[in-house]
Amino acid sequence: MIRPEADTLLEIVDLQARVEDKPILKGVNLTIKAGEIHAVMGRNGSGKSTLSKVLAGHPSYVVTGGRVLYRGANLLDLEPEQRARLGLFLGFQYPVEIPGVSNLEFLRVSTNARRSEKGEEELDTFAFEDLVRERLQVVQMDPAFLERSVNEGFSGGEKKRNEILQMALLDPLVAILDETDSGLDIDALRIVAGGVNHLASPDNATLLITHYQRLLDVITPDYVHVMAGGRILRTGGKELALELEDRGYDWVDQELAVLEVA
C-alpha cells in the first residue's frame, strides 16, 4: 500500500559493507515507508542476503560507508538485540538449530524483550501460552513444536513457519524476510505467505528477499528492486518481477557491466 504521506520507517543511503576483505554492498539506496511491501530480487551473490544481515547487525559484516536511518535514528549504532526490540525483524534463510533450548522458552523471552521495549507488560508463562497458541494459527503450526528445542529436527518448511510465528509474536515494524520461500513446497509457501499477508498492516512494512516470482504471486509487492553487484540496479512495480521471470537475469548482467565500465 503506497501512501505518500506515510511515515518513513527505513532509509538506506549509499550503504557499503564487506565480509572479511571482500566488498559486497557497494552503495545501496532504498527507502521504505509504513504500509509498503518491497521485494528485492537478484542472482546468488548479488548482495541480497548481505543487505538483510547488515540491517539486522550480523557481526561478520563490516559497514564501510553510507548510513541507515530507522525511524529517523541511526540503526548502525545499535546492537542486534536493540534493533530487534525496536521492531526490526529478520526472518532467516537458514534458521539456526539450537539443541537444548526450548522453543517455547525462547519465544517467550524474545517476545518479552520486545514487549518491554514497547512499554507493554511482560507475559508470564501462562499468559504467554495463551498468546502463542493464538498466533500459531497464523502459520497453522502444531503446538507440539513449542515443546521441542529451537528448530532442532524441524523440516525446512517447519523452520520457516517458526520464523513467521516469531514475526507474529514480535509484531515488528519492519520485517525483512530472507528467501523465506526457499525450500518450501507449494502448500507450505501458501501458508507462510498467508501469514505474512495477515501480519502486513498500514503501520508496518515488509522487505522480501527472493529469487523467484512464485512468492510474489501470493504476496503482492508495491515495489520490486533488482539487485546486482552490491547495488540496486533498477526499481519498478510488481511488473518488474514478471519481466525478470520472463527475460531472466542476463539483461541485468549487461546493465551491470555497462555501469561498472562507467
Partner 1 sequence: MVAAMSNSAAVAASAWVTTFLERLPAPVGELEAVQWRGREALSRQPLPSRRQEDWRFTDLAALTALAPALAPALAPASEQGRWPEPAAGVVRLWLDAPGDPLAGQSLPAGLSLLDADEVQQALGHTLATCNCEQHWPVELNQASAPRVLALRVSAVVAPTLELVSQAAGDGVMRPVRVLLLLEEKASLEVLQVQLGSGSSLTSLVIEAHLGRESTLRHGLLALGEGPACFLGHLAVEQEPRSLLESVWASHGWALSRFEPRVVQVDGEATTSLKALQLADGQQLADTHSRVEFRGPEGQLDQLHKAIADDRGRSVFNGAVKVPRAAQRTNASQLSRNLLISNQARIDTKPELEIVADDVRCAHGATVSRLQTDELFYLQSRGLSAAVAAGLLKRGFCEEVLRALPAAAAPWRPLQRLLGEI
C-beta of 84: minimal distance to partner 1 in Å?
4
Decide whether 166 or 221 has the Cβ nearer to partner 1. Answer: 166
User: Which residues on adjacent β-strands are paired with residue 70?
Assistant: 10, 73
Among 62, 113, 131, 233, binds partner 1 (CB under 8 A): 113
Q: Which of 35, 47, 57, 195 contacts partner 1 by CB under 8 A?
A: 57
**169: helix, coil or strand?**
helix
For 52, the 3-state DSSP assignment is helix
The distance of closest approach from Cβ of residue 77 to partner 1 in the complex, given in angstroms and rounded to an integer, is 15
Site for partner 1, residues 122 to 161, rule: CB under 8 A: 149
Contact status: 106 vs partner 1 (CB under 8 A):
yes
If binding is defined by CB under 8 A, does position 19 make contact with partner 1?
A: no
Of the two residues 50 and 166, which places its CB atom closer to partner 1 in the complex?
A: 166
Residue 189 exposed, middle or buried by CB count within 10 Å (0-12, 13-18, 19+): buried
What are the respective helix, strand and coil percentages of the chain, to the nearest 5?
Answer: 40, 30, 30
Binding to partner 1 by residue 71, rule CB under 8 A?
no
Q: How far is CA 27 from CA 47, 56, 63, 66, in A?
A: 11, 17, 11, 7
Q: Is 7 in the site for partner 1 (CB under 8 A)?
A: no
Please report how close the Cβ of residue 113 comes to partner 1 at its closest, in angstroms.
Answer: 3
- For partner 1, the binding residue among 1, 29, 67, 117 (CB under 8 A) is 117
Which residue, 51, 59, 67, 78, is CA-closest to 20? Answer: 59
Does 203 engage in binding with partner 1 (CB under 8 A)? no
**Closest approach of Cβ 222 to partner 1, in Å?**
25
Q: How far is Cα 114 from Cα 85, in angstroms, rounded to an integer?
A: 4
